[in-house]
Chains A and B, each alone.
Chain A
C-alpha cells in the first residue's frame, strides 16, 4: 500500500494525486446528496471547454524555456480588443467569432514579439517580471478601454456615451456559437468547443514534432547545449512567447463565447493564474509540459471548481467556501511548483 502510494506520487506528482482524490470525494458526496450527476458533469464539460485553450497557451511558453506565462493577460487583452472590434463592426454568428480570432492574431503576434524582447533580457526572472508586466498592462488598458474610440451603443456606457462597459454581452452576437455548433438530439453538450480545443491541441502537438518545435524544446530544456548545437535560443523563446500570446487571445474568445460576456478592465488581471494552476495540476512543471498535462489539468481543475460549488454550498450554505477552496487550491499548487523549481544555485 505504501509502495503503491509512493509509486503514484512519483509518477503523477502530489498535485495531480491530491486533486484527483479531492474530486473523487466531492463526487461521492454529490451522489449522497442526490445531486444531478449528469448536470454536474455537463456543467464541468462546459467549463472545461471554456478554459481549455487558455490552459493550452501555457505549453509553448513552458517548453520554450520562459516558464509559466504569468503575463498571459497581455494575450487575453489582444483577444478582447479583437472581440470588441467585431462587435463594433456588428459581426454575428460563427463568422463574427472566426473574424475575431483572425483579428486577434496580429495583435497577439506584435504584443508577444515585444514582450519576448523583454523576456530575452531578463532570463531567469521571467515569472516575477511577467506577473508585474501583466498587471501593468492590464491596468494601462483600463485607461485604454475608457479612451478607445468605440461607438457602438451596445458597448459604451449609456450615460456620457464614452468608454466601454465593464461587461459586454454577447447575446445576439456569438454567444455559445462554438458550444452549440454541433447539436445532437436530446444532448446539450459543448461539443463544438471541445472539438475546437481538440483541433488546437492537435495543431500544437504537430507543431511540437516539427523541426521548429523540436528546436524550441531543445532550447527550453538545455539552452547552453542548444546554443552550442547551433539553435538560436532567443529566437525559439520569441516563437514560444508569441505562440503563447496568440493562444491566449484565441483562448479568451473561446472563453467569452461560452461564458456569454466579454469582461474588460480588471477582468483579465488574475486569469493567467487559473490557467497556470490548471496546467500544474495536470502534472506540468515550470520546465516541462505536454498536451496531456493540459487535458488532465483542465479536466481536473475545472471539474473540481464546478462540482465543489453546489456540493459545498449544500453542506455549508453560509459563506463562500467554494471560492475559498478555489483560492487555496489554485495558489497552493503554484506555490508547490515554485518550491520544486528550486533556487538558482
Chain B
C-alpha cells in the first residue's frame, strides 16, 4: 500500500515538473558533451545567477495578477539604462554611482510602468502579444531619444560616450566605473568559485519582498485577479488600478535588475543590451516550471540555473557533437523561443478546453 502511494507521488511529481525534468536531462547531456570542467561551469552558473535572477524574479507579480508573462520587461530595462547613462555622464562611480543610478531610474520606471499598465488595461486577454510589441515600439522610441535627441535636445557633450559627430550616444558605453561595484562589496571564494554575497543578499531581499507583498492586502488582490477578473471586480477590487500596480512594480524591478546585470557585465551596449532581456527572463522562468498563470520564486531560481547552464555548455556541446559551435548557439535560441511557444500553446489549449467545458455544462 505504502509502495503504491509513493509510486503515485513519484508519477505526480514527474507530471507536475515535466519541463524542469526535461531540461535537467538536456542540461546534463550538454554538460557531458561540452567536456567543460565542473568548477568552471559552477563558477559561470553563480555568475549568471547573480546577473539574471533579479530580472527573472521581476516577472512573478504580473503572472500572479493574471497578466501573463511581462515581455515589456524591456521597458523597465531601459529605465535602468537611463540611470546608468546618467551616472556615466556625471562620472560618479563605485557603489555610490550604482545606488544613484538605481535612484534615478525610479521615476522613469514608474512612468514607463504606468504607461505600460494603461495600454495593457486596454488589451485585456491579449497582454502578452501587446507587451511584446510594446517592447519593440519602445525600442524605437529609445533609439530616437539616444540617437537623435542626445546632443541636440539633451545637452550631453562627454566625447567618451557621444558619437564623433556630437549627436547620439555611442554603440558601446564603458561602465568600468561601476563594474562589480555590487558584486565586490562582499564576496568570498569557495574552492575557486567566486560568490558575490552582497548581490545574492539583495536578490534574497527581493525574494522576501515578493513573498511579503503577496501576503498583504494588495497581494491578495493580485491573486484574486489572477483567479478570475470578473469575480474580483464583483468583489469590489479596482481591477484596472491593481493591474497598474502589478505592472509598475514589475517594471521598476526590471530597471534595477538591468542595473545589477550591467554592473556585472561592465559594458552597456546602448542599443542592444535591453533587446533580449524580456525573452531570456521569460524563457528562464518557464524552464523552471512556471506557466502563464503560475510562477513562484522556486521556478525563477531553478529556471535561471537550468536555462543558463544550457547557455554555458551549448556552444562547446555543439562543437563536440556536430563539429560546429554555431549549432549549439542556434539550439539555445531555439530552446528559448521553443519553451515560450510551448507554454503559450499549453496555456491556450487549457483555456479553450475550459471554455468548451463551460459551454457544454451550460447546455
A302-345 vs B: 1/0 string, CB under 8 Å?
A: 00000000000000111111011001100110110011011111
Which of A131, A132, A319 contacts B147, CB < 8 Å?
A: A319
Tell me which of B57-65, B104-112, B128-136, B153-161 binds A: B128-136
Tell me the residues in window 74-122 of chain B with beta carbons closer than 8 Å to chain A beta carbons: 119, 122
Q: Are A136 and B334 in contact (CB under 8 A)?
A: yes
- Which chain B residues lie closer than 8 Å to A125 at the CB level? 344, 347-348, 351
Q: How far is the CA of A133 from the CA of B231 in the complex (A)?
A: 33
Q: Is B10 an interface residue (CB 8 A)?
A: no
Q: Are A122 and B348 in contact (CB under 8 A)?
A: yes
Which of B125, B167, B324 contacts A163, CB < 8 Å?
A: B324
Q: How far is the CA of A143 from the CA of B341 in the complex (A)?
A: 18
Question: A-side interface residues toward B, CB under 8 Å?
Answer: 70, 118, 121-125, 127-129, 131-133, 135-136, 138-140, 142-143, 146-147, 162-163, 273, 316-321, 323-324, 327-328, 331-332, 334-335, 338-339, 341-345
Q: How far is the CB of A70 from chain B (nearest CB, A)?
A: 8
Q: Which residue of B lies closest to A224 (CB)?
A: B359
Contact A328/B140 with A125-B347, A127-B126, A128-B344 known, Cβ cut-off 8 Å: yes
Q: How far is the CA of A328 from the CA of B326 in the complex (A)?
A: 32
Contact A132/B330 with A122-B352, A342-B123 known, Cβ cut-off 8 Å: no
Q: Are B338 and A121 in contact (CB under 8 A)?
A: no
Q: Are A136 and B133 in contact (CB under 8 A)?
A: no
Say what secondary structure dominates the interface of chain A: helix
Say what secondary structure dominates the interface of chain B: helix
Q: Is B148 an interface residue (CB 8 A)?
A: yes
Q: How far is the CA of A125 from the CA of B353 in the complex (A)?
A: 13
- Which chain B residues lie closer than 8 Å to A320 at the CB level? 143, 147
Q: Which residue of B lies closest to A334 (CB)?
A: B133
Q: Are A146 and B326 in contact (CB under 8 A)?
A: yes
Q: Which residue of A lies closest to B346 (CB)?
A: A122
Q: How far is the CB of B150 from chain A (nearest CB, A)?
A: 10
Tell me the residues in window 196-232 of chain B with beta carbons closer than 8 Å to chain A beta carbons: 230
Q: How far is the CB of A169 from chain B (nearest CB, A)?
A: 21
- Which chain B residues lie closer than 8 Å to A162 at the CB level? 324
Q: Are A324 and B147 in contact (CB under 8 A)?
A: yes
- Which 6 residue pairs across A and B have the least CB separation, nearest first? A343-B124, A344-B125, A327-B140, A122-B348, A125-B348, A132-B341
Q: Are B124 and A318 in contact (CB under 8 A)?
A: no
Q: How far is the CB of A189 from chain B (nearest CB, A)?
A: 32
Given contacts A335-B130, A338-B123, 14 further A-B contacts (CB under 8 A): A132-B344, A135-B341, A136-B337, A136-B338, A139-B330, A142-B333, A147-B327, A324-B144, A327-B136, A331-B134, A331-B137, A331-B140, A341-B126, A343-B126
Which of B124, B134, B148, B344 contacts A344, CB < 8 Å?
A: B124
- Which chain B residues lie closer than 8 Å to A138 at the CB level? 337
Q: Is B357 an interface residue (CB 8 A)?
A: no
- Which chain B residues lie closer than 8 Å to A345 at the CB level? 124-125, 230
Count how many chain B residues have C-beta atoms less than 8 Å from C-beta atoms of the other chain: 46
- Which chain A residues lie closer than 8 Å to B148 at the CB level? 316, 319, 321, 324
Q: Are A136 and B341 in contact (CB under 8 A)?
A: yes
Q: Are B128 and A128 in contact (CB under 8 A)?
A: yes
- Which chain A residues lie closer than 8 Å to B119 at the CB level? 335, 339
Q: How far is the CB of A302 from chain B (nearest CB, A)?
A: 18
Q: How far is the CA of A327 from the CA of B341 in the complex (A)?
A: 24
Q: How far is the CA of A342 from the CA of B107 in the complex (A)?
A: 29
Q: Are A139 and B129 in contact (CB under 8 A)?
A: no
Interface centre among A127, A132, A339, A343 (most CB of B within 10 A): A132
Q: Are B330 and A122 in contact (CB under 8 A)?
A: no
Which of A139, A328, A343 contacts B125, CB < 8 Å?
A: A343
Q: How far is the CB of B214 from chain A (nearest CB, A)?
A: 25
Q: How far is the CA of A129 from the CA of B165 in the complex (A)?
A: 43
Q: Is B141 an interface residue (CB 8 A)?
A: yes
Q: How far is the CB of B118 from chain A (nearest CB, A)?
A: 10
- Which chain A residues lie closer than 8 Å to B324 at the CB level? 146, 162-163
- Which chain B residues lie closer than 8 Å to A319 at the CB level? 147-148, 163, 167-168
Q: Is B306 an interface residue (CB 8 A)?
A: no
Q: Are A331 and B133 in contact (CB under 8 A)?
A: yes
28 cross-chain CB contacts under 8 A:
A121-B348, A122-B344, A122-B352, A127-B126, A128-B128, A128-B348, A129-B341, A129-B344, A129-B348, A131-B129, A132-B337, A132-B340, A135-B340, A140-B338, A142-B333, A318-B168, A324-B140, A327-B143, A328-B141, A331-B137, A335-B133, A335-B137, A338-B133, A339-B130, A342-B123, A343-B122, A343-B125, A344-B124
Contact A324/B337 with A341-B126, A344-B124 known, Cβ cut-off 8 Å: no
Q: Are A327 and B139 in contact (CB under 8 A)?
A: yes
Q: How far is the CA of A53 from the CA of B163 in the complex (A)?
A: 40
Q: How far is the CA of A213 from the CA of B327 in the complex (A)?
A: 43
Q: Is B188 an interface residue (CB 8 A)?
A: no
- Which chain A residues lie closer than 8 Å to B136 at the CB level? 273, 327, 331
Q: Are A142 and B137 in contact (CB under 8 A)?
A: no
Q: How far is the CA of A283 from the CA of B140 in the complex (A)?
A: 23
- Which chain A residues lie closer than 8 Å to B125 at the CB level? 124, 343-345
Q: Is B9 an interface residue (CB 8 A)?
A: no
Q: Are B147 and A338 in contact (CB under 8 A)?
A: no
Q: How far is the CB of B337 from chain A (nearest CB, A)?
A: 4
Contact A128/B126 with A136-B337, A136-B338 known, Cβ cut-off 8 Å: yes
Interface centre among A163, A319, A321, A335 (most CB of B within 10 A): A319
Q: How far is the CA of A156 from the CA of B124 in the complex (A)?
A: 47
Q: How far is the CA of A140 from the CA of B336 in the complex (A)?
A: 11
Contact A338/B341 with A146-B327, A321-B147 known, Cβ cut-off 8 Å: no
Q: How far is the CB of B363 from chain A (nearest CB, A)?
A: 13
Q: Is B345 an interface residue (CB 8 A)?
A: yes
Q: Are B337 and A328 in contact (CB under 8 A)?
A: no
- Which chain A residues lie closer than 8 Å to B128 at the CB level? 128
Q: How far is the CA of A331 from the CA of B126 in the complex (A)?
A: 16
- Which chain B residues lie closer than 8 Å to A341 at the CB level? 123, 126
Q: How far is the CA of A326 from the CA of B333 in the complex (A)?
A: 25
Contact A139/B124 with A319-B148, A324-B143 known, Cβ cut-off 8 Å: no
Q: How far is the CB of A148 from chain B (nearest CB, A)?
A: 13
- Which chain B residues lie closer than 8 Å to A331 at the CB level? 133-134, 136-137, 140
Q: Which residue of B lies closest to A276 (CB)?
A: B133
